[in-house]
Amino acid sequence: MTQQTKIEWTDFTVNFWEGCQKVGPGCDHCYAEARNQRFHGDNWGPGKPRRYVKGGIAKLHKINRGAEKFHEENGHWPRVFCSSLSDIFDNAVDKAWRLEAFSALEQATDTRPQLLTKRVGNVFQMIPQSWAMHWPRHIGLMITVVNQAEADRDIPKLLDLKAKLGISWVGLSMEPLLGPVRLDRIVSPKNWGENYDGWTFDCLTTGDYYTLFGEGPSLSGDGPWRDVAIDWVIVGGESGHHARPTHPDWIRSLRDQCEASGTPFLFKQWGEFAPFDPAGNETDRAVFKIGKKAAGRLLDGRTWDGVPT
């Protein structure tokens, strides 16, 4: 079975339903919404029905059946991005659809599903009860982070989930990157208790991390201090008609932070803007709107394709 998507950080996409609602600046130019409209769908926004994708579950099972062959040919188990045309933790979707999807994901043990969400606050309440006790080892969890405010707000929640549920790996999709982000200086939320409000920590460094969930169910040990960190960082600029530029130094800074901590870093794409003039010469700092294809994905002369083991 050959790789099926051109998305650089995965091998396959699987959708169980289509439709969503915008929740932040990263959604402003949602390609899935534009695609939905192009095919005359009306599945975006509050009150709009989501569209069930009939072949979604069957496709996942098929990838799972072909996983050994894929592994032989590619040296890794098939990575599956769920869901590229929706958010699996969307409040508005039929709960039965989500439970059906979770059950299929749990059974597809030879795949490596990548659950990517912009709704990390929903994860714990929406997963099946069995996952709260035994998160499936083959499934990873990723969140989108596009600026420092989202990093400070959502990364502590992701690390809490990793510590609480024993998730084998967690990652960040920083696309479209809309501002500089210091992952080594995340500021903790205001409800962490008087000693830890506004505490600054490095989310890339495995070490003592203070969690808030002491009273909740936990598989990762006792007490509030856990040994957890972000396992993967994917960065990219925006593509499409209304793309916003990403400063090359924002990307370099994240690359350098990942290198310093040994965190796998993947540079997905420049998007429409890149530090190359129309003649193809690399510029010092200015970016030009030269189009996604011409912009490519070289950063300082090479590709960056780190993935967690």
Interface positions with ligand SF4 (CB under 6 A): 20, 22-23, 27, 30, 32-33, 86-87, 118
Closest CA to 202 of 144, 257, 141: 257
As measured in angstroms, the least distance from the Cβ of 50 to ligand SF4 is: 11
State the nearest-atom distance from the C-beta of 217 to ligand SF4, in Å. 28
Cα–Cα distance for residue pair 111/80, rounded to 1 Å: 7
Q: How far is the CB of 19 from ligand SF4 (least distance, A)?
A: 8
- What six digits make up the tokens of 41? 């769908």
CB atoms within 10 A of CB 85: 24
Neighbour order of strands in the sheet with 79-82: 12-14, 79-82, 112-117, 140-144, 170-174, 232-236, 265-269
Q: How far is the CB of 222 from ligand SF4 (least distance, A)?
A: 35
Query: β-strands 112-117, 140-144: how paired?
Result: parallel
Cβ-based nearer residue to ligand SF4, 42 or 197: 42
Q: Kindly state the smallest distance separating residue 67's Cβ from ligand SF4, in Å.
A: 26
The residue among 32 and 115 lying less far from ligand SF4, judged by its C-beta, is: 32
Q: Which is nearer to ligand SF4, 10 or 211 (CB)?
A: 10
DSSP string, 279-297: TSPBPSS--EE--HHHHTT
Q: 155 or 229: whose CB is closer to ligand SF4?
A: 155
Q: Is 224 exposed, middle or buried (0-12, 13-18, 19+ CB in 10 A)?
A: middle
The distance of closest approach from Cβ of residue 4 to ligand SF4 in the complex, given in angstroms and rounded to an integer, is: 19
The DSSP H or E segment spanning 113 is strand 112-117
Produce one character per residue of 97-126: b if its CB has 16 or more CB atoms within 10 Å, e if not.
bbebbbebbbebebbbbbbbbbbbeebbeb
Between residues 30 and 294, which has the closer beta carbon with respect to ligand SF4?
A: 30
Of residues 90 and 202, the one with the C-beta less far from ligand SF4? 90
Of residues 67 and 177, the one with the C-beta less far from ligand SF4:
177
As measured in angstroms, the least distance from the Cβ of 194 to ligand SF4 is 35
Question: H-type helices in the chain, by residue range?
Answer: 31-38, 56-65, 67-74, 95-107, 123-126, 129-133, 148-165, 248-261, 292-295
- Tell the smallest beta-carbon distance from residue 118 to ligand SF4 (Å): 4
Nearer to ligand SF4, 67 or 146 (CB): 146
Distance CA 44, CA 170 (A): 27
Residue type, 248: P
